[in-house]
Structure 1
Amino acid sequence: MNRPLHLMLIAFFVLSNCALFAQTSSLSVEKIMQDPKWMGTFPERINWGSQSKTIYFDYNPDKNPSDSLYKISVNNLDNIEKVSLAERKNMTGPYGTWNADHTKKLYTEDGALYVYDLKKDRSQQLIDLGGRLGNPTFLANENQIAFEFENNAYVFDTEDGNIEKLTKIKEEKAPEEREKKSSEKDKWLKEENLSLLQIVRKREEQDSLSKAYRKMTADPEPYTFYAGDWSVGGLQVAPKADFVTLVLMKRDRGESTNVPNYVDASGYTEDLRARSKVGDDKTEVTLAVYNIKKDTAYYVDTSKLPGIKDLPDYTKDYPDKEWEEKEREVIVSQATFSDDGSKALVNIRSKDNKDRWIALLNLEDGSLKTLDRQRDEAWIAGPGIGWSFGGGTLGWLPDNKHIYFQSEASGYSHLYVLDVNNGTKKALTEGEYEVFDPFLSKDKKSWFLTTSEVDPGERHFYKMPLMGGKMQKLTNLPGKNEVSLSPDEKYMAIRNSFSNKPWELYFKKTGSKSDAQQLTSGQSEAFKAYDWRVPKNITFKADDGAMVPARLYVPEASVKNNAAVVFVHGAGYLQNAHKWWSTYFREYMFNNMLTDLGYTVIDIDYRASSGYGRDWRTGIYRHMGGKDLSDQVDGVEYLIENYGIDPEKVGVYGGSYGGFITLMALFNEPETFKAGAALRSVTDWAHYNHGYTANILNEPTQDPIAYKRSSPIYFAEGLKGDLLIEHGMVDTNVHFQDVVRLTQRLIELGKDNWELAVYPVESHGFVEPSSWTDEYKRILKLFNESLLDK
């Protein structure tokens, strides 16, 4: 029977669409998003026993509600044992402070101070003062131990058992500051009363004379440092116990935002206290020096730091505003003393995060001598650089004249040493890679460090001479190697993963050329049953010439549907186009399923991602949704040109920062992206937190231009494609208020091609499998209907 041509064509297209939707995967959203225990059990928090004979780690082969502690003996690597409760109670914790030759370790437990003797393999309680005792440290004379108790510094002598209180610090105002200050009215009333009443005047005069006499004849009171409105913490005792430094803080995080919890067990709506908004952080931090010999204390003087009054470059964009040149607020870290106690080092950050100074602290008067200044018109950061209250990688070499630190001076975070006597600085590592977590060997003749020298998407562990030189690569497994070195440095416990293989534990002798021995094998049979893809690591050229790293998932030609999905990782400063098991493992599995269904998926380490140096990290300064968005667009162009993607079939999804980019993509690049799912997304950066946002966009009252061009809510009128918004209602990080405001904006604009799915019991990181499942079923439906059902 002959059919008209137009009916045959209609039948062909119907069958073609049916074929597209008939593409299947052995994966399902329900399977991927169930409790992660279905994947197996994988080792976490690796630690060594103090004797270097046993590896301890958290593990859960029995699928209990939470992990348990397990161990493997170096003498029997094939046997994994669960640590008994009795053994666990008698264990020495992994954290503590060793003496110079690593034979004794101080640690606290339940507030009491203990010392562990390595040779005797035994712990002894030294002090229990009935309260929390903190920060114990061996002094230069190792028979003496300094510690902090109730905001004061003490020294315990292990030979005679005496405890000496070094400081007298009180978290209160000085007596003269506590005296009631009379108002003008009260002064007038008193003077009038004294002038009218002779007996009252006489008694007042006698009382004043008595007070003056007692003050003149009394023994001088011991010095007390009154902290006033400051809270005291971070006491550091110098190795010779002649100085103590103390961190002083006034914490004011501004007005908190209340997040309503509509499903509280009480049946009432309860407010969850959450963070304040950017620009509302008034926290102050300073450092004081307590001179024990002179029995006095003084504040560290930061007023003479070079560039302390420098204005940031962005002020040039506001020519009509009068900018006051003034001393910027700074945050001073704890002091780091040289081993001989002759010198002290501090790390100082400007609160606007444009400057980091490393300085010598003159303990006699609190003055500073700048040794290194790192200035960044964007913001100071990077591996080992340290954040507001910590110095990051910072310390002294054993010669007591060289310091070490990390800096992005070359564009990548590298390890440096500096001679404090003549200011000579030397880079111990250099190249287009980054250094992570360097530390000195036990004999202080070498460095151990992790770097990305082999590839930005890999991490390997090295040993290097103290003053630099050839690095010896100690790991050889592909992917990421997290090394826990045994206390005697003879062995390495390595937690390793690859793109399609979750974390497992390996063992290797330090310096051995043999392959590492795998100790755990945690994948479940259900997880191993699927052939998980190794994404193709690629780079493509961005419009500005930069080479952008990405991971690519390519479907079989027989199922390819010419549609593409762009996955955008969250956090901004995070790396995901690497060669190890992703923290976004659910999304990795979802991308595998999308590829089974014929989608081509690309996962881009856009501008602002970590692992690629300073310029990549700061590429979004003052314009989030600029180069980080154009990198996504250029990635799509790459797929169209090289993988035959239909320009009308491109979707995008991501959570948190990835949700923000998704909104910017749908609003500002509607010709590129036809559908998008924005999960827990920031819609207006003026409503996010201070610590993250102020680095990148400055403060909204100071730099409104940056906020207006970076916030999706200002561009909602550009929406043309299909948008799915998903958000937890008790999100204390990116508040639900964000999407409520955007929802109202979309309503007012008359947009009708969007949906909002809310999750009443979820915060920023979802925890319930049912929520994950619902969320991703909606995303899959969005892509199938918006990109394929055309």
Structure 2
Amino acid sequence: MNQFSRLKWRLEGLAPLCLLVLFGALAPLSAQELDLKTIMQDRYWIGELPESLTITPDGKTVHLSVTQPLPHPAKRLMIQLADGKVVPVTREALSEALVSENFFHKDLRVAEIEGDLWSSHGDAALAPMIARDEWVRFVRFTPDGKIVFREGNDLFQFDPGQGRLVQLTSLQMSDEPKPADSWYHAEERRMLTEVDKRYVAEEAAKADAEIRRGAGGYAKPKPLYLGPDHRIGRKHVSEHDRHMLDISADLRFVAIALEPENEGDPTQYAEFINEEAEVQAKNARPRVGHQTPTWKLAIWDRQEDKLSWLDISDLPEIETDRLAEIKDKISEEDRKYLPATPEGPRSVYFVPSGFHPSDSHYLVTVFSRDWKDKWVLKVDPATMNKEVVYHQYDPAWIQFFMRNEGLDAWVGGAANWVPDGSRISWLSDETEFQHLYTYDLASKQTKPVTKGDFEVFNPFVGPENKYWYFHANREHPGELHFYRMPTKGGKMQKLTNGVGHHRVALAHDGTMVELFAQSNAPNQVRVRRGKRWETLYDGRSEAFKAKSWVKPRVVTYKNRDGKEVYARLYVPENPNGAGVVFVHGAGYLQNAHFGWSGYFREYMFHNLLMREGYTVLDPDYTASAGYGRDWRTGIYRHMGGRDLNDVIDGAKFLVEKHGISADRLGVYGGSYGGFIALMAMFDQPDVFQAGAALRPVTDWAYYHHWYTSRILNTPRLDPEAYRRSSPIYFAEGLKGHLLICHGMVDDNVHYQDSVRLAQKLIELGKKNWELSSYPVEPHTFQTPSGWYDEYRRIHELFQRTLK
């Protein structure tokens, strides 16, 4: 299969990486050349930028999806690599443009397109093969070239040669129907002749239906009842989602990963503006702290008609209470809210990687739901015996998603089969930096494939099975390049050149096409010809290119722990003595790098501030991505600790190294950045004279379970972690001028967060603060008017208090 030919770039998402090199010269530019309305208008003014890139398996054509302003659909463009011409996608080529993933068996190609399966042989064009009412997903090829796909909760086999379709499973998410009470049922049959006749007729009908169901080679499988409390699991990483329902190569064993139906009660927020002109309650994610029921994994032996459940009770240290020491220190007042510790193994989370390419062994990665342990298991489905291939424990939290924006955004931390079936691979930052590891099935040896003070992202074996391919920040934490190295071992070979971010898509024939971005220039499409990269498409508008956008310097400064903090630095030609520190969101994310920032509006805003004389610092504080395990987990049990210190130390850096007045400093950020801005204004009130907190978390006990429980555990288990990490507990400290901005239909950080803080500030009698509410805006603002109003207020705050 060729799962590597598609590359996505989310402009609204946020990018990675950074370091100590000074980069780029400052071009003189007057503030009048930039204005907020231009910066905050609909992002399409920047140009027709590619948001996804697909290269055809033969390496001849590149397809681009270019998002247009609403209500227009995406524009689709195609580039013929032979001559480099960029043209609109023709109707004949539309199917290729819509391919989400390709799979290969000899000369047969199967493509997923808009929920259907298409196919082709050799160089022939794609043609529809399987179109169903529900979304269809490819599962695997059988050794003889038949296709197994999933529709809904069931698996089907299709023979492309004969056009024959066979249903393989009939999975029922319910309990098996129970017969009526035996004594009353029997007594009623004896008592009433009509009841007995009905019973005899029903039994005869059931027997006849069973005979008809099993007739011929098209026999429909009998129902398999899995219970009502779970559903077939869903994941956010497509490579593992495909294996939530999987089947072995010989079609004997079916594996089913089941997640609990109830994952916590939903929270709610209010929608005030809608077509119905009435206030509506909307459901959102559960709040942190709910009990996390365990996942289940079933394997059904179709040959023996036997259903077995994976037993995880004997996994190494599965019954160890990783939070026992924390619980022992809980105060008597909090202890009455402490939930009882369940007996037996801890709750777990399954991330399956499916059956071996050729035999029946099954691979699954198990995560404890307190996020402290990870086990990679190889399971024999005939006996349900399991081999623990790898076990990792992290006293903070195991890395479940390896974040690297632009490379499909998320990369799973689970294990995978190497395509030839000889090894198992996974990513881990167990030895500090995120690297690729393999386990050899024959020798049972684990070894690192990559090593060094850098991080590896999205590794895969190329279609020729000779090389590992991956992205890494080896050259510099702020650069992302594409590499390869022999699968049998050898040196890393860098395949890209130029300072910036390179995101490469590899065609089935080995052709490489990339999205290349620099800090002052968004994505361009380039193709590798020999050892040279040639630009094929630059969608920037003339209006955008007419502005002299600066390349911010990427610098380092030492924090109070003696560690280097990487940051973007915007230095004005004529400093006005004022400084602003921007705090990126998401916590685990990078923004101090040489690529185009997902915070492109903020990047342009910083250009404006710089031209007005402000010096702007944009640090990758503790917990930012790309710097290794210790940096990632440095905020465990205390958000607003080391991460806040890095921001405060950044302000000190501006004062000591760049001549900024200590009484003319501002701070701002959104989401996690808004949280840090609040902590700075409350917990370190003498540092910043003004702060803007956008869509901020004010109390972590009200945020998302999956995110927060990894870092702070849960409120009842670790209440002190929440109290020292939540701004609302420190609101008394406010001295400077504070602006809070929040969208009222935010389903991520709820508007309730800012409302509760506002009430706290009122009760404290605080002055010099304001709350700006945006009735139609979600977490990431959608309207130019909302963006403009928000940043107008930020700009006016800084002009009024710092300048």
Q: TM-score range by the shorter chain?
A: 0.7 to 0.9
Residue 6 of structure 1 aligns with which residue? none
State the alpha-carbon separation in 1 of the partners of residues 470 and 521 from structure 2: 24
Instruction: Call closer, same or farther: CA 1:120–1:637 in 2, change over 3 Å.
Output: closer
Q: Is it true that 1:237 corresponds to 2:243 in the alignment?
A: no
**Offset of residue 90 of structure 1:** 4.3
**Offset of residue 502 of structure 1:** 1.3
* Alignment equivalent of 1:737, drawn from 729, 752, 772: 752
CA deviation string 1:262-285 (max 9, x = no partner) = 222322212222222112364542
Residue range with higher mean Cα deviation, 150-159 or 292-301: 150-159
Overall identity of the aligned pairs, in %:
40
Q: Which amino acid aligns with 1:82?
A: P
Contact 1:727 1:736 in 2 (8 A): yes
**Offset of residue 535 of structure 1:** 1.0
Instruction: Call closer, same or farther: CA 1:124–1:268 in 2, change over 3 Å.
Output: closer
Instruction: Call closer, same or farther: CA 1:593–1:276 in 2, change over 3 Å.
Output: same
**Offset of residue 108 of structure 1:** 4.5
**Offset of residue 169 of structure 1:** 2.5
What is the RMSD of the two structures over their aligned residues, measured on CA atoms? 3.1
State the alpha-carbon separation in 2 of the partners of residues 62 and 275 from structure 1: 29
State the alpha-carbon separation in 2 of the partners of residues 400 and 597 from structure 1: 60
Instruction: Call closer, same or farther: CA 1:74–1:660 in 2, change over 3 Å.
Output: same
State the alpha-carbon separation in 1 of the partners of residues 501 and 704 from structure 2: 31
Residue 13 of structure 1 aligns with which residue? none
**Offset of residue 640 of structure 1:** 1.4
Partner SS, residue 631 of structure 1:
helix
* Alignment equivalent of 2:301, drawn from 291, 305, 323: 291
Q: Which amino acid aligns with 1:141?
A: D
CA deviation string 1:106-161 (max 9, x = no partner) = 235566543222x232334444565544334211222x222224523232333444
Contact 2:76 2:97 in 1 (8 A): no
Residue 374 of structure 1 aligns with which residue? 392
Instruction: Call closer, same or farther: CA 1:651–1:287 in 2, change over 3 Å.
Output: same
Contact 1:245 1:334 in 2 (8 A): no
Partner SS, residue 771 of structure 1:
helix
**Offset of residue 724 of structure 1:** 0.7
**Offset of residue 323 of structure 1:** 5.1
State the alpha-carbon separation in 1 of the partners of residues 741 and 595 from structure 2: 28
State the alpha-carbon separation in 1 of the partners of residues 416 and 427 from structure 2: 10
**Offset of residue 27 of structure 1:** 1.3
Residue range with higher mean Cα deviation, 151-160 or 624-633: 151-160
Q: Is it true that 1:250 corresponds to 2:260 in the alignment?
A: yes
TM-score (norm 2): 0.86
Partner SS, residue 275 of structure 1:
strand
Residue 450 of structure 1 aligns with which residue? 471
**Greater relative contact order, per chain length (Cα 8 Å cut-off, separation 6+):** 2
Instruction: Call closer, same or farther: CA 1:391–1:504 in 2, change over 3 Å.
Output: closer
Partner SS, residue 745 of structure 1:
helix
Partner SS, residue 647 of structure 1:
coil
Residue range with higher mean Cα deviation, 532-541 or 92-101: 92-101
**Offset of residue 763 of structure 1:** 1.0
Partner SS, residue 91 of structure 1:
helix
Aligned residues: 740
Contact 2:566 2:620 in 1 (8 A): yes
Residue 165 of structure 1 aligns with which residue? 167
Q: Is it true that 1:459 corresponds to 2:480 in the alignment?
A: yes
Contact 1:554 1:599 in 2 (8 A): yes
Q: Which amino acid aligns with 1:495?
A: L
Residue 83 of structure 1 aligns with which residue? 89
Partner SS, residue 303 of structure 2:
coil
Q: Which amino acid aligns with 2:61?
A: T
Contact 1:301 1:368 in 2 (8 A): no
Contact 2:741 2:772 in 1 (8 A): yes
* Alignment equivalent of 1:505, drawn from 521, 525, 545: 525
Contact 2:189 2:196 in 1 (8 A): no
Partner SS, residue 71 of structure 1:
strand
* Alignment equivalent of 2:383, drawn from 340, 365, 375: 365
State the alpha-carbon separation in 1 of the partners of residues 143 and 190 from structure 2: 60
State the alpha-carbon separation in 2 of the partners of residues 545 and 333 from structure 1: 38
Contact 2:581 2:617 in 1 (8 A): yes
Instruction: Call closer, same or farther: CA 1:503–1:63 in 2, change over 3 Å.
Output: farther
State the alpha-carbon separation in 2 of the partners of residues 353 and 180 from structure 1: 45
Residue 10 of structure 1 aligns with which residue? none
Instruction: Call closer, same or farther: CA 1:543–1:348 in 2, change over 3 Å.
Output: same
State the alpha-carbon separation in 1 of the partners of residues 587 and 115 from structure 2: 39
Residue 612 of structure 1 aligns with which residue? 627
**Offset of residue 522 of structure 1:** 2.4
State the alpha-carbon separation in 2 of the partners of residues 258 and 295 from structure 1: 44
Residue 315 of structure 2 aligns with which residue? 305
Q: Is it true that 1:545 corresponds to 2:562 in the alignment?
A: yes
Q: Which amino acid aligns with 2:53?
A: I
State the alpha-carbon separation in 2 of the partners of residues 126 and 524 from structure 1: 41
Partner SS, residue 397 of structure 2:
coil
CA deviation string 1:518-572 (max 9, x = no partner) = 112322232223221111111111111111111111112xx31211110000111
Instruction: Call closer, same or farther: CA 1:584–1:407 in 2, change over 3 Å.
Output: same
Instruction: Call closer, same or farther: CA 1:245–1:69 in 2, change over 3 Å.
Output: same
State the alpha-carbon separation in 2 of the partners of residues 729 and 180 from structure 1: 54
Q: Is it true that 1:340 corresponds to 2:340 in the alignment?
A: no
State the alpha-carbon separation in 2 of the partners of residues 324 and 67 from structure 1: 51
State the alpha-carbon separation in 2 of the partners of residues 650 and 310 from structure 1: 48
Residue range with higher mean Cα deviation, 530-539 or 163-172: 163-172
Partner SS, residue 497 of structure 1:
strand
Instruction: Call closer, same or farther: CA 1:533–1:390 in 2, change over 3 Å.
Output: closer
State the alpha-carbon separation in 2 of the partners of residues 261 and 524 from structure 1: 36
Partner SS, residue 155 of structure 1:
strand
Partner SS, residue 352 of structure 2:
coil
**Offset of residue 633 of structure 1:** 0.8
Q: Which amino acid aligns with 1:116?
A: S
Contact 2:403 2:589 in 1 (8 A): no
Q: Is it true that 1:69 corresponds to 2:87 in the alignment?
A: no
Partner SS, residue 670 of structure 1:
coil
* Alignment equivalent of 1:27, drawn from 34, 46, 50: 34
Partner SS, residue 334 of structure 1:
strand
Residue 24 of structure 2 aligns with which residue? none
Q: Which amino acid aligns with 2:88?
A: K
CA deviation string 1:190-232 (max 9, x = no partner) = 79x98xxxx998669x979x99x989x9899986421121323
Contact 2:517 2:523 in 1 (8 A): yes
State the alpha-carbon separation in 1 of the partners of residues 411 and 560 from structure 2: 38
* Alignment equivalent of 1:280, drawn from 290, 298, 312: 290
State the alpha-carbon separation in 2 of the partners of residues 537 and 150 from structure 1: 49
Q: Which amino acid aligns with 1:465?
A: P
**Offset of residue 298 of structure 1:** 1.2
Partner SS, residue 259 of structure 1:
strand
Q: Is it true that 1:642 corresponds to 2:663 in the alignment?
A: no
Contact 2:139 2:148 in 1 (8 A): yes
Partner SS, residue 313 of structure 2:
coil
| Bigger Rg, which one | 1
TM-score (norm 1): 0.88
Residue 724 of structure 1 aligns with which residue? 739
State the alpha-carbon separation in 2 of the partners of residues 131 and 316 from structure 1: 48
Contact 1:107 1:136 in 2 (8 A): no
Residue range with higher mean Cα deviation, 565-574 or 341-350: 341-350
CA deviation string 1:408-433 (max 9, x = no partner) = 12111111111234431110101111
State the alpha-carbon separation in 2 of the partners of residues 401 and 487 from structure 1: 21
Contact 1:460 1:475 in 2 (8 A): yes
Contact 1:263 1:761 in 2 (8 A): yes
Q: Is it true that 1:350 corresponds to 2:392 in the alignment?
A: no
Instruction: Call closer, same or farther: CA 1:488–1:138 in 2, change over 3 Å.
Output: same
Residue 591 of structure 1 aligns with which residue? 606
CA deviation string 1:298-337 (max 9, x = no partner) = 1111111111112225633534668566311111223422
Partner SS, residue 274 of structure 1:
strand
**Offset of residue 686 of structure 1:** 0.7
State the alpha-carbon separation in 2 of the partners of residues 312 and 500 from structure 1: 46
**Offset of residue 750 of structure 1:** 0.7
Any residues of structure 2 matched to 1:175-574 within 5 Å, and which?
A: 175-176=177-178, 224-229=223-228, 230-232=230-232, 234-280=244-290, 282=292, 284-313=294-323, 315-316=325-326, 318-319=328-329, 326-381=344-399, 384=402, 392=413, 394-398=415-419, 400-489=421-510, 491-509=511-529, 512-514=530-532, 516-556=533-573, 559-574=574-589
Residue 240 of structure 2 aligns with which residue? none
Instruction: Call closer, same or farther: CA 1:333–1:63 in 2, change over 3 Å.
Output: closer
Instruction: Call closer, same or farther: CA 1:501–1:235 in 2, change over 3 Å.
Output: same
Residue range with higher mean Cα deviation, 35-44 or 541-550: 35-44
Ranges in structure 1 where 5+ consecutive residues have no aligned partner: 1-22, 182-186
Residue 118 of structure 2 aligns with which residue? 114
Contact 1:302 1:367 in 2 (8 A): no
